[in-house]
Amino acid sequence: MSRLDFAPKLKEIQLTDIKKGLGVFTPKPDKIVSFEALKATLKKAGYTLDTADITLVGTLEHEGKDWALIVDPTNQRFMLEGAALAKVLADARPGERLEITGGWKTVGAGTSAYEAVSVREKKKAEGASKVAALGFQDSGQASSEFSHARSAPPFFSTWSSAAAAKPLAPIRTTSPGLTVYKGGAVTPRLYFIKQHLGNLNVNRQLLDVSISYTPGPHLQLETEVPVSRIAFDNSVTSGSGLGLGNIMVWSKYRFYRTVKTYGDRQAAVRFGLELPTGKKSAPGAKAVNAPAFVRQQLTPINGGWSPHFDVAFSQAGGRFIKGFNVEGILRSERDGFRVGNEVRVNTDFEYVLLPRNYQAPGKELFLILESNFVERGRGRLNGSVVDGSKSTEYYLAPGLQYTARPKFVVEGSVQLPVIRNTGPLVLRTDINLLLGVKYLF
């Protein structure tokens, strides 16, 4: 909406009923309005506009057999039509100032296009206020409502569309959503991970900063930069190290979306490439009395160049959201080391706990339960397959997410093991605590 010439800034567009997709905005007083431009803009953002109501205040003109309403200050001309026109304007006179309400559309295309209103009612306009109220529907499912205020600037509009659907909010599960249309997000996340293998205890603190940008309604580009601090202790020796992990670059393509009132369905594919940028030096045998494959796991990397492929789906309706993603990772060796190739399956179940009276976006508190399944094949060391490096793991991750502001989200999640069928050379994860924020721009 805010990308239309006649629409105000995004922060000035107020959603008033998120269930029906209703909102209010005041268009710029010096810009003409266009139903077709509005429809095209919403379509680019993934929404469908079927019908719209409009209320106009202006001066009535008679053009032969036709009637028109001229709205100040732009002098934009709205042609009046409809089956009830003759009855509604039976006692009207040219030059009168009237308030007209009816269905809005754009007729024609290009330079010959004009705006038209199928008139349903009229009344006398008071004072010099020029008011326009708009009501929109998404796919014919949201109710068309409008309102006006005589103290408003020349245009005061109320809109309804599926743009008011709740944001999807998974934490560890890939979302098929694209964050925002022609915008992006910065998402720093801090992980506290505790692992062990026998008497070897490992503590990781991982800061992962993700920056995404959505240039259009189907594509999102993203970069992840991880930095890790790893500390170990085996009751005899201890140590720690800080280093950059492998940087990830992603592209996501949303190929399916069906919008409905108070929810939607969407699906996307995501392609990623893990770059060999991370710190690769591992502690020596004197520092840690453990096999070489175990010591290599005390670095921030899992190997070298690694392509990722991901498919994600989600469905939102009412207060419930559910989704899943399946991801495959092909690992390559770096300096002779890599963990096994991976298949990951994540599920996401969410419930909007607050607010109970859900009228406008913001201040939502999401209760989240995610599951994470990881199947990892045997790794390699110096060109040889390492026996005892396979693993099958399943985790549950309850979490909370709070939308403090429409553009600012805080979140937390704790991942706990349910099944850990790991080989004797694989570190076992005991707990993985995630804290993060997200800022949209």
What φ, ψ does residue 201 adopt, rounded to 5°? -110, 135
Torsion of CA 196, 200, 201, 205, to 10 degrees: -90
The pair of three-digit structure tokens given for residue 172, joined into one six-digit string: 């560890």
Tell me which residue of 418, 437, 438 sits closest to 428, measured CA to CA. 418
158-178: pLDDT as tens digits: 444 333 344 557 999 999 988
Q: In sequence order, what are the residues at sequence separation of 6 or more whose Cβ sits closer than 8 angstroms to the Cβ of residue 426?
A: 197, 297, 376, 388, 389, 390, 391
Give domain limits for the chain.
10-164, 183-440
The answer to whether residues 411 and 173 touch, using CB atoms and an 8 Å cutoff, is no
- pLDDT of 32 over the 90 cut: no
Percent of the chain with pLDDT over 70: 80
Q: What is the pLDDT of residue 344?
A: 98
402 CB burial (10 A radius; 0-12, 13-18, 19+)? middle
First to last CA, the chain: 15
412-426: pLDDT as tens digits: 999 999 999 999 999
CA distances from 101 to 84, 116, 144 (A): 12, 11, 13
- pLDDT of 93 over the 50 cut: yes
240-278: pLDDT as tens digits: 999 999 999 999 999 998 876 556 889 999 999 999 999
Q: What is the pLDDT of residue 137?
A: 41
The conformation of residue 268, written as its DSSP 8-state character, comes to E
Strand boundaries in 82-199, DSSP class E: 97-107, 114-124, 133-138, 157-160, 183-197
Angstrom distance (rounded) from CA 133 to CA 121 = 14
- pLDDT of 134 over the 70 cut: no
Q: What angle do CA 355, 45, 411 make, to 5 degrees?
A: 40
CATH for 183-440 (3.90.550.10, 3.30.420.40, 2.60.40.790, 2.40.128.130): 2.40.128.130
Angstrom distance (rounded) from CA 89 to CA 195 = 78
Angstrom distance (rounded) from CA 393 to CA 19 = 39
Global pTM reads 0.74
173-231: pLDDT as tens digits: 999 988 766 788 999 999 999 999 999 999 999 999 999 999 988 999 999 999 999 99
Average confidence score pLDDT of the chain:
84
Angstrom distance (rounded) from CA 70 to CA 114 = 12
Element (H, E) at 147: none
Torsional sign, CA 150, 151, 152, 157: negative
Tell me which residue of 93, 53, 78, 75 sits closest to 154, measured CA to CA. 75
- pLDDT of 129 over the 50 cut: no
Angstrom distance (rounded) from CA 71 to CA 56 = 7
- pLDDT of 142 over the 50 cut: no
